[in-house]
Structure 1
Amino acid sequence: MRATVRDIAAETGLSIATVSRVLNGQSNVAPHTRELVLQVVGRLGDQAPRPRAAQETMAGGTVYVRCPYLLTDYFGLIVSSIGETVELHGGQMILSTGESARRPALSGLPGRSDIAGAILILPPEPGEELVRLRDRRFPFVVIDPRTPPPKDIVAVSAAHFAGARKLMAHVVELGHRRVGIIGGPVKWLPSEARLAGYTASLADVGVLPSAELLRNVLEPNAENGYRAACELLDLPERPTALVAFNDKMAVGALWAAAERGLSVPGDLSVAGFDDIDLSRATLPMLTTVRQPLQEMGRMAVTLLMRLLSRHTLEALHVSLGTDVIVRDSTGPAPR
C-alpha cells in the first residue's frame, strides 16, 4: 500500500503541512527538515506519496477568509480547518473576522494582487453583491449562505433540511405531538430549511404546523432561546418537547425548564442542532444534529482550488450530510 503524507509526518515527527511543503518543492523549509523528509521518501521508494501536480496546489497563493462573526466554537472550527487545509496545499490565509469584517469589503477584492481567491463564511451581503463579485471573475466560495446562492456561485453547507427532519422524526417516535419549535432568524436559508425539516416529520404523523408553537429569534443565542422557551412553556397547554435552531438556544430552553421545575427529559424533551462542545457540557447532555463543520472548511478550500485551476464545477452547491446524535435530553412523551 502507498504511504501517505500523514505516515511520513508520524515517522519524522514533523507536521503534515511541513511534509507537504517538502513534497511540493516549496522553498520555505529548513534544509535539515527537507533532508529528513527526503530520506524517508527515498527509503519508501515506490510506496512514497507522490507530490501533487502543480494545478492541485495553491502555489503559495493567499486566500482571503472573511468571517464577520466572533470565532466561537462554531465558526472557530470552520476557520481553523480552512487554515490547516490552505497550509497543507502550500498557501497562506488572511483572516478578517468580528465586527471589522462587517464593513463593505467584497468590491475591493478583485483589485488586490496579493489575494488569489476568497472563502466567505455566512456572508451578510445580499445575493446581488455576490453576483457582482462573480461577474468580475474573482474566484470565491461561500460557506453556509444566508440566502439561496445565485446561479454559478459555488457554495458548501450542511444538509439542514435532512438533519432537521431526522431529528424531529426521533422526537415524534418518542410519542411527542405537541412540539414547540424555537427557530432562527426569519428569511435565513438555514432557518427555513431546518423549519421545513421539522414540520415535514410532524406532518408525517398528521400534525400540522401551529403558529402558537413557533418562535423565531433575531440572534440565535442562549438568551433568546431562553426567552422563546419561556413563552412556549407558559402556554395554557405547554409543549412536551422543544426543538431549537441550534445548541445554544437549546441550552436556553434548559434554563427555562429548570426555572419552572420541569425535569428533562421526564417532563420535557429538549433538542438542538450543531453538536458543538456546549451540547456535551449540559446536564442532561443534549440530543442534537451533528454538522460536519470542519469538513465544510476543508471542502471549501478544495472547491476554491478547483476554481483557481479553472476546472468546471457542475455541483455548484455542495450539501454535506448530517447525523442525529441521541443523548439524554430526549425521552418518551409524558402521559
Structure 2
Amino acid sequence: MSPGKRARVTLRDVAEQALVSPTTASFVLSGRRDMRISPATEERVLQAARALGYRRPAPAIGVVSDATGHTAGESLRDRVGGEILQDCAAGEILRGCVAAAGDHGHAVLTAHGVDGPQALAARGVRGFVHVSTATAAYAVPLPLRGRRLVTVGASGPSMPIPAVLTDDAQAGRAVAAALTAAGHTAGIWLAGQALPGSGARRLSGIRTELRSAGSRLAGHVQCGWTPDETRTALTHLFGTGARPTALIAMNDRVAMGAYQAAGAAGLSIPHDVSVISFGDSDLARWLHPGLSSVDLAYVGAGRLAVELLLAGRVRAGVHRLPAELRTRQSVGPPSR
C-alpha cells in the first residue's frame, strides 16, 4: 500500500471495534431485524462504523440462469433447444451484466437451479436478471415472483416484466440480404434445426428477405447445433451430389461443421460454397477464411438488462436490440 493511502475499512474491522461478531455487525448494518440484538449492541456497532468511516458495499445483482425458467407448457425439445442457446449466449450475457454492474459500483452473483434465487436473496441480493430461453408464453418463475426482475432472451405477446431480446428476425434478414447481394438467387440451404424461439425467428427473417428478392431456400439440413452433427449431415448431403451455392448456418458451431464437411468434399469457401452464420463468436474470427456472422448483441443485452434493473420502474415488455452482420471472407458470388 502506498504511503498515506488508507486501507478500505471492512466489516470485520467494525465488528472488532464494537466487540461483536462479524455476523452481528452485518445484521445491524444491513438493517435486518430477524436476529435479536440489544439496542446497546446495535448502537455500539453503529458508532464503530461511523468512527472508522465504514461504507457498506453496494448490494449485488443476481443473475439466475434458465434452469428456473421452464414453463409448464414447454416440451423436451424446447428445453434441449434452450440449453443449447444458453450455452452459446449465457457467458456473453453475463459479461455484459458484470460490466454494467461494475459501472454502477455493484457486484454480480450468479446462481443456477430452482433454489438459486433464495440463496442469492439470503446474501442480500434484491434485484435479479433472469437469463431465460423460454419458448412458450413467458411466466415469471415462482422463486422470482415479487422480486425486482428483468429477463433476457424470453419473448411473448405480453411480457409481464421488462425483457431484453436480440432482434433475431432482423438477423435472419441480414444474412439473406448479404447472400442475395452477392448474387445468390438459388441453391441457398439452411443448416441446423430452426429451434423454437431464436431459431424460429431467424428462419422467419430469412424467408421474408428471400421472398422480397424473389428467391427461397433450396433446402434445409435438419441437424443439431454442433460441429460434429453438422459435419455428418452435410457430408451425407454432399455425398448425394447436392451442391449448395451457399449455406446459412444457425450458429457459428454449425458453420464450423460446414467448413469441415466442405473441406472433406474438396469444396473451397467461398469459391464453391459461401457460408454465413449467427453469433459472431471467437470461432468466426478463428476459422479460415474468416466467417461472416451476425453479432447478436449478447453483451449488450446483459448491459441493458442491468441498466433497466437499476433504473427502477421500467415499463414491462420487450426492449429489442439490433443485430449487426460482421462481414468477413466466407461469402462470395456463386461460381455457377
TM above 0.5, yes or no, is yes
Query: Does 2:157 match 1:143?
Result: no
Which of residues 186, 189, 193 is equivalent to 2:195?
Answer: 186
Post-superposition CA distance 1:256-315 (Å, at most 9, x none)? 000100011111111111111110111111011122222111101011113xx3x2415x
Alignment-derived partner of residue 197 in structure 1: 205
Alignment-derived partner of residue 45 in structure 2: none
Alignment-derived partner of residue 289 in structure 2: 284
Which of residues 297, 302, 318 is equivalent to 2:302?
Answer: 297
Alignment-derived partner of residue 161 in structure 1: 169
TM-superposed CA distance for 1:140, in Å, is 1.6
Report the Cα distance in structure 2 between the residues aligned to 1:263 and 1:197, rounded to whole angstroms.
27
> Does the 8 Å contact 2:164/2:304 carry over to 1?
yes
TM-superposed CA distance for 1:245, in Å, is 0.8
Q: Which amino acid aligns with 1:327?
A: R
Alignment-derived partner of residue 12 in structure 1: none
Post-superposition CA distance 1:33-67 (Å, at most 9, x none)? xxxxxxxxxxxxxxxxxxxxxxxxx9722222123
Q: 1:244 to 1:128 in 2, by over 3 A?
A: closer
Which of residues 81, 89, 104 is equivalent to 2:114?
Answer: 104
Alignment-derived partner of residue 253 in structure 1: 258
Which of residues 172, 180, 183 is equivalent to 1:175?
Answer: 183
TM-superposed CA distance for 1:205, in Å, is 2.5
> Does the 8 Å contact 1:164/1:194 carry over to 2?
yes
Which of residues 214, 222, 234 is equivalent to 2:220?
Answer: 214
Report the Cα distance in structure 2 between the residues aligned to 1:168 and 1:125, rounded to whole angstroms.
24
> Does the 8 Å contact 1:142/1:154 carry over to 2?
yes
The count of corresponding residues between Structure 1 and Structure 2 is: 267
Q: Which amino acid aligns with 1:320?
A: L
Alignment-derived partner of residue 82 in structure 1: 97
Q: 1:185 to 1:175 in 2, by over 3 A?
A: closer
- Identity across aligned pairs (percent)? 24
Post-superposition CA distance 1:132-158 (Å, at most 9, x none)? 567x3222222122x537532221122
| CA RMSD, Structure 1 to Structure 2 (Å) | 3.1
TM-superposed CA distance for 1:166, in Å, is 1.4
Q: 1:283 to 1:161 in 2, by over 3 A?
A: same
TM-superposed CA distance for 1:185, in Å, is 5.1
Which of residues 108, 121, 141 is equivalent to 1:93?
Answer: 108
- Secondary structure of the corresponding residue to residue 156 of structure 2: coil
Post-superposition CA distance 1:185-204 (Å, at most 9, x none)? 522x1101111111112212
Which of residues 61, 64, 71 is equivalent to 2:59?
Answer: 61
Post-superposition CA distance 1:2-59 (Å, at most 9, x none)? xxxxxxxxxxxxxxxxxxxxxxxx977xxxxxxxxxxxxxxxxxxxxxxxxxxxxx97
Alignment-derived partner of residue 52 in structure 1: none
Which consecutive unaligned segments of at least 5 residues does structure 1 have?
1-25, 29-57
Alignment-derived partner of residue 264 in structure 1: 269
Bigger Rg, structure 1 or 2: 2
> Does the 8 Å contact 1:266/1:334 carry over to 2?
yes
Which of residues 312, 315, 323 is equivalent to 1:313?
Answer: 315
Alignment-derived partner of residue 121 in structure 1: 131
> Does the 8 Å contact 1:243/1:271 carry over to 2?
yes
Q: 1:122 to 1:204 in 2, by over 3 A?
A: same
Q: 1:124 to 1:163 in 2, by over 3 A?
A: closer
TM-score by length of 1: 0.70
Query: Does 2:245 match 1:240?
Result: yes
- Secondary structure of the corresponding residue to residue 325 of structure 2: strand
> Does the 8 Å contact 1:287/1:329 carry over to 2?
yes
